[in-house]
Amino acid sequence: MNLEAHPAMHWIFEFAFYNVGLLANVLGGAFASIQSKANGIHTVTTYFRLRWIPLAVRWCICVFMFLILWQNPSLNLGFEKIMPNLAAHIGVAGALGYLSDAVWDRLLGIIAPGIHKTLPAVPDAANPPS
């Protein structure tokens, strides 16, 4: 089956790999947070349990930007020049997913603190600061 001949399947693969790129950036942030000694987060599941609302907000914003920008003929961003085949489309979609989440993480950290992926420092309950 040639996915280039099926626009709907082509778009589904692009969207799936865009989400893989988003997930890669989120997992990178989760890994950095569980490695940090500044908080009490030690597992990825705990990170997602505590941060699922900000992550869902960022995911929605990134998906909306994908829907606005990707293959929008009125914008004519020139994506087709650098993507001659499906593999290139998938690679660019994944990279844009990763970069989109990274950019929105930084912007939302400035505009709406608490939405970005960095966890605030959690004080040690056993040794409160004096």
pLDDT in tens, 66-106: 888 876 767 766 666 777 777 888 888 888 899 988 888 88
Asked if 20 and 12 count as a contact pair (C-beta separation under 8 A), the reply is: no
Q: Is residue 121 part of a domain?
A: no
Range of the domain at 60: 3-111
Q: Is residue 30 part of a domain?
A: yes
Q: Is residue 41 part of a domain?
A: yes
Q: Is residue 129 part of a domain?
A: no
What confidence category does residue 60 fall into, taking pLDDT thresholds of 50, 70 and 90?
very high
Task: Give residue 11's pLDDT.
Answer: 82
The tally of domains found in the chain comes to 1
What confidence category does residue 24 fall into, taking pLDDT thresholds of 50, 70 and 90?
very high
Q: Is the dihedral of CA 111, 112, 115, 119 positive or negative?
A: positive
What confidence category does residue 123 fall into, taking pLDDT thresholds of 50, 70 and 90?
low
Q: At what angle do helices 7-35 and 86-111 cross, to 10 degrees?
A: 50
Dist CA 53 CA 64 (whole Å): 17
What value, to the nearest 5°, has the Cα angle with vertex 119 and ends 115 and 124? 145
